[in-house]
Chain A
Amino acid sequence: ERGGNNSFTHEALTLKYKLDNQFELVFVVGFQKILTLTYVDKLIDDVHKEFRDKYRNEFQQKGTLGLLNGTFDFKDDFMRLLRDAEESSKVRAPTVMKTFEQSLKSQKTVKCMIETRGEKPKEKVKNKKNKGSKKEGTEAVAVPGKASAGDKQPSVAGDREELTKDEILQKNREEFFKRHMKAGEKSSKSPKPEAQKEKGKKPRVWDLGNSNAKVLDYSNSATNGSAEACPMEEFDPEIALGDRNREPGRLYDLEYESDDEAEEEKAIQNPSKPSSKKGGLGGMFGMLKGLVGSKSLIREDMDPVLEKMKDHLIAKNVAAEIAVQLCESVAKKLEGKVMGTFTTVTSTVKQALQEALVQILQPQRRVDVLRDVMDAQRHRRPYVVTFCGVNGVGKSTNLAKISFWLIENGFSVLIAACDTFRAGAVEQLRTHTRRLNALHPPENHGGRTMVQLYEKGYGKDAAGIAMEAISYARNQGFDVVLVDTAGRMQDNAPLMTALAKLIAVNAPDLVLFVGEALVGNEAVDQLVKFNKALADHSMAQTPRLIDGIVLTKFDTIDDKVGAAISMTYITSKPIVFVGTGQTYCDLRSLNAKAVVAALMKA
Chain B
Amino acid sequence: KMTFFPQLLTGRYRDTQTSITDSSAVYRVSNDKNANVTLIDLPGHESLRLQFLERFKAAARAIVFVVDSVAFQREVKDVAEFLYQVLVDSTVLKNAPALLIACNKQDVTMAKSAKLIQQQLEKELNTLRVTRSAAPTSLDGSATGGPAQLGKKGKDFDFSQLPMKVEFVECSARGSKGEEGDADFEGLEKWLARVA
Measuring CB to CB, which residues of chain A are less than 8 angstroms from any residue of chain B? Answer: 24, 26, 63-65, 67-69, 355, 358-359, 362, 364-366, 368, 370-371, 374, 405, 408-409, 554, 577-578, 580, 587-591, 594-595
B138 touches A594 (CB 8 A): yes
Interface size in chain B (residues, C-beta < 8 A): 31
A368 touches B9 (CB 8 A): no
B139 touches A63 (CB 8 A): no
> What are the nearest 8 A-B pairs in CB distance?
A370-B131, A591-B138, A64-B25, A589-B136, A591-B139, A594-B140, A68-B6, A587-B136
Contact with A along B7-30 (1 / 0, CB 8 A): 001101010000011011100000
Given that A65-B9, A68-B10 are known contacts, is A590 also in contact with B139, CB under 8 Å in the complex?
yes
Give Cα distance in the complex from A144 to B51, angstroms.
Answer: 64
Measuring CB to CB, which residues of chain B are less than 8 angstroms from any residue of chain A? Answer: 6, 9-10, 12, 14, 20-21, 23-25, 46-47, 50-51, 77-78, 81, 127-128, 130-132, 134-140, 142, 144
A65 touches B10 (CB 8 A): yes
A405 touches B136 (CB 8 A): yes
Given that A359-B51, A362-B51, A366-B81 are known contacts, is A68 also in contact with B138, CB under 8 Å in the complex?
no
A residues within 8 A CB of B12?
68
B50 touches A371 (CB 8 A): no
B residues within 8 A CB of A589?
135-139, 144
Give Cα distance in the complex from A366 to B10, angstroms.
Answer: 37
Rounded to whole Å, the gap between the CB of A587 and the closest CB of chain B is 5
Across the interface, name the chain B residue whose C-beta is closest to A401: B136
Given that A355-B51, A364-B47, A365-B46 are known contacts, is A65 also in contact with B137, CB under 8 Å in the complex?
no
Given A67, A355, A368, A588, which contacts B137 in the complex, CB threshold below 8 Å? A588
B residues within 8 A CB of A577?
136
Give Cα distance in the complex from A588 to B141, angstroms.
Answer: 9
From A64, A409, A588, A595, name the one whose CB has the most chain B CB atoms within 10 angstroms: A64
Give Cα distance in the complex from A559 to B137, angstroms.
Answer: 19
B134 touches A370 (CB 8 A): yes
A residues within 8 A CB of B137?
588-589
A residues within 8 A CB of B131?
368, 370-371, 374
A358 touches B135 (CB 8 A): no
B9 touches A594 (CB 8 A): no
A residues within 8 A CB of B51?
355, 358-359, 362
Given that A364-B46, A368-B131, A409-B134 are known contacts, is A69 also in contact with B10, CB under 8 Å in the complex?
yes
Give Cα distance in the complex from A69 to B21, angstroms.
Answer: 19
B residues within 8 A CB of A587?
136
A residues within 8 A CB of B24?
64
Across the interface, name the chain B residue whose C-beta is closest to A410: B134
A residues within 8 A CB of B77?
371
B residues within 8 A CB of A366?
81
Across the interface, name the chain B residue whose C-beta is closest to A409: B134
Give Cα distance in the complex from A448 to B81, angstroms.
Answer: 32
Give Cα distance in the complex from A595 to B140, angstroms.
Answer: 9
27 residue pairs A–B, Cβ–Cβ below 8 Å:
A65-B9, A65-B25, A68-B9, A68-B12, A68-B14, A358-B51, A359-B51, A365-B78, A368-B81, A368-B132, A370-B135, A371-B77, A374-B127, A554-B139, A577-B136, A578-B139, A588-B139, A589-B135, A589-B136, A590-B138, A590-B139, A591-B138, A591-B139, A591-B140, A594-B139, A594-B142, A595-B139
A residues within 8 A CB of B46?
364-365
Across the interface, name the chain A residue whose C-beta is closest to B124: A371
Given that A65-B25, A362-B51, A578-B139 are known contacts, is A371 also in contact with B6, CB under 8 Å in the complex?
no
B residues within 8 A CB of A64?
23-25
Give Cα distance in the complex from A178 to B131, angstroms.
Answer: 92
B residues within 8 A CB of A67?
23
Across the interface, name the chain A residue whose C-beta is closest to B82: A366
Across the interface, name the chain B residue whose C-beta is closest to A408: B134
From B10, B14, B136, B138, name the one whose CB has the most chain A CB atoms within 10 angstroms: B136
Rounded to whole Å, the gap between the CB of A272 and the closest CB of chain B is 26
Give Cα distance in the complex from A595 to B51, angstroms.
Answer: 16
B50 touches A362 (CB 8 A): yes
Other than the known A65-B25, A67-B23, A591-B139, what 13 A-B pairs have Cβ atoms closer than 8 Å?
Answer: A26-B20, A63-B25, A362-B51, A365-B46, A368-B81, A371-B127, A577-B136, A578-B139, A588-B136, A588-B137, A588-B138, A589-B144, A594-B139
B residues within 8 A CB of A371?
77, 127-128, 131
A residues within 8 A CB of B25?
63-65, 68
B residues within 8 A CB of A409?
134
Rounded to whole Å, the gap between the CB of A384 and the closest CB of chain B is 19
A residues within 8 A CB of B144?
589, 591
Rounded to whole Å, the gap between the CB of B128 and the closest CB of chain A is 7
